[in-house]
Amino acid sequence: MTSMKNNLNLGLAAFTVLAMASVPAFAQEAAAPTVAITAATTPNVDYIFNTVLFLIGGFLVMWMAAGFAMLEAGLVRSKNVAMQCTKNIALYSIAGLMFWAVGYNLMYPGDDGWIVADVVGKFLPVSLPDPASDTGNAYATGSDWFFQMVFCATTCSIVSGTLAERIKLWPFLIFCVVLTGIIYPIQGSWEWGAGWLDDMGFSDFAGSTLVHSTGGWAALAGALLLGARAGKYGPNGEIHPMPGSSMPLATLGTFILWLGWFGFNGASQLALGTLENASAVAKIFVNTNMAAAAGVIVAIILTQVIYGKVDLTMALNGALAGLVSITAEPLTPAVWQAVVIGAVGGVIVVFTVPLLDKMRIDDVVGAIPVHLIAGIWGTLIVAWTNSDANVVTQAIGVGAIGAFVFIASFVVWAFLKFTIGLRPTLEEETDGLDKAEIGIEAYPEFGTGSQRI
């Protein structure tokens, strides 16, 4: 994803190119590829296409919020399902409000809006121009804000899964406020806001690092301070699995995320108004789909070989890991390269999920392997297919954002832990958070739900 600044230029390009484009002679020349490419559509058409790309991409990514909700509802035990649903709809709402009140301008300060040049943007709520004079960019201002906001929400969704079943509602929501209002936008400004990482040549097309690893780091910091679910790990290193309550909901959630990812990666091309952009978006769709497919198949084969049975939850994680892996660069890889990149994502899931358990880091839905580890992989491998990127700069970006997000999150989590506290009482946790904090069971009529014999 280039910075908004670049994108504006791109818009202006359309205008200038146009003089030549719309003269009658155009048609014939159009037949010749080279011209056809540079030939932009008329500025309004270009503007409308870009806006449509942001809006369609935006609603697809918004839909991912439902995907996370279903995935997590399916992977937690039934006694915590209503809580998980509550967290997911609340965090999506918070992301919208915070990214409007603070986040957007902190992330996209423009050329001269920085408080600390290229590091910290400005604090200012967003207001939209009158549509009749919304001509500052090659797209509608609102469409860009909407598209950026849903990315911020996605980052936050990642956190809720890891910490499920044992964190109280309010401390979690307060963290979401800080993450979506401050932490996410600041690190985002370094790259997509045209800050220092962008200047350095760091490349993260749709956010393997800026969105997924960021969510993963915030989740990891939380998991370390929060500790594991009661009874998850025995005194002698035993691991006690706590199977999720609904495999079909987890599967539905994964399909929703897969669908949303076409908007996530595709619309990150940020422009649709030229033949080249349209073709690029199409190529991104293909690579995105192939990486996910490879992740699924690898996870299925590996779990069959290693465990003698196919683990559906690993296959679902595999799809997501494939998607995260290709997110840093879905455009430059050839199809076979996208397959390879996604396949490695599947491998990562199968091997790091048990690893985390061995380290006694309790990640309920596997968000750390899927979003953090695969996100790092995806960011580093950009250098393989994109000659503009080099692995050192990529590593610096991964490290810088990782350090900032992890430390900042850790501080916030620690503050919450020692003030209002993060965890419910053991009894509340045993009874389930639905009873303790929501007051309704997710499935009041299906067996006793909250425990299994």
Partner 1 sequence: MKLLTAIIKPFKLEEVRSALTDLGLEGMTVTEVKGYGRQKGHTEIYRGAEYAVSFLPKIKIEIVVPSEQVDKAIDVVQTAARTGQIGDGKIFVSSIERTVRVRTGETDETAL
Q: Which stretch binds a copy of itself (CB under 8 A): 58-66, 190-198, 359-367, 388-396?
A: 58-66
Other Cβ atoms within 10 Å of 239 Cβ, number: 14
Cβ partners under 8 Å of residue 25, min gap 6: none
Which residues on neighbouring strands pair with residue 374, listed in sequence order? none
- Angle among Cα 89, 66, 442 to the nearest 5 degrees reads 65
30 binds, among a copy of itself, partner 1, none (CB under 5 to 8 A by kind): a copy of itself
Q: Which does 357 bind (CB under 5 to 8 A by kind): a copy of itself, partner 1, none?
A: partner 1
Of 290-349, binders to partner 1 (CB under 8 A) are 307-309, 311, 313-314
The site partner of 293 among partner 1, a copy of itself, none (C-beta below 5 to 8 Å per kind) is a copy of itself
Q: Is the Cα dihedral 189, 90, 125, 61 positive or negative?
A: positive
What residue 314 binds from a copy of itself, partner 1, none (CB within 5 to 8 A, per partner kind)?
Answer: partner 1
Stretch of 111-119, 139-147, 208-216, 408-416 contacting a copy of itself, by CB under 8 A: 139-147
CB nearer to partner 1: give 169 or 239. Answer: 239
Helix ranges (H only) for 374-425 are 374-380, 382-385, 391-418
From a copy of itself, partner 1, none, which one binds at residue 97 (CB under 5 to 8 Å depending on kind)? Answer: a copy of itself
Q: Does 251 bind a copy of itself (CB under 8 A)?
A: yes
**Residue 38: C-alpha distances to residues 13, 33, 41, 210 (Å):** 10, 9, 9, 31
Tokens 């500052």 locate to 136
Q: State phi, psi for 341 to the nearest 5 degrees.
A: -60, -45
Contacts of 136 by beta carbon, 8 Å cutoff, 6+ apart = 8, 129
Q: Which of residues 342-361 bind partner 1 (CB under 8 A)?
A: 350, 353-354, 357
Query: Of 27 and 427, which has the nearer Cβ to a copy of itself?
Result: 27
Least CB distance from residue 117 to a copy of itself, whole Å? 28
The answer to whether residues 215 and 187 touch, using CB atoms and an 8 Å cutoff, is no
Counting residues that bind a copy of itself (by CB under 8 A) gives: 146
**Binder among 187, 277, 385, 394 for a copy of itself (CB under 8 A):** 277
274 binds a copy of itself (CB under 8 A): yes
Residue 432 interacting with partner 1 (CB under 8 A): no
Greatest distance between any 2 Cα atoms in the chain:
80
Question: Which residue from 22, 71, 8, 3 is spatially nearest to 366, judged by alpha carbons?
Answer: 71
Report the residue number, 130 or 238, with the smaller CB distance to partner 1. Answer: 238
Nearer CB in complex with partner 1: 194/316:
316
- State the binding partner of 255 from a copy of itself, partner 1, none, CB within 5 to 8 A by kind: a copy of itself
Do the Cβ atoms of 58 and 150 come closer than 8 Å?
Answer: yes
Q: Footprint of partner 1 on residues 229-248 (CB under 8 A)?
A: 239-241, 243
SS3 assignment, position 363: coil
CA separation, residue 430 to residues 31, 75, 182, 436 (Å): 70, 17, 34, 10
Q: Which of 66, 186, 323, 347 binds a copy of itself (CB under 8 A)?
A: 66
Judged by beta carbon distances under 5 to 8 A according to partner kind, the member of partner 1, a copy of itself, none in contact with residue 152 is: none
Q: Is 301 exposed, middle or buried (0-12, 13-18, 19+ CB in 10 A)?
A: middle
Instruction: List residues near partner 1 by CB under 8 A.
Output: 239-241, 243, 307-309, 311, 313-314, 350, 353-354, 357, 366, 430, 439-440, 447-448, 450-451, 453
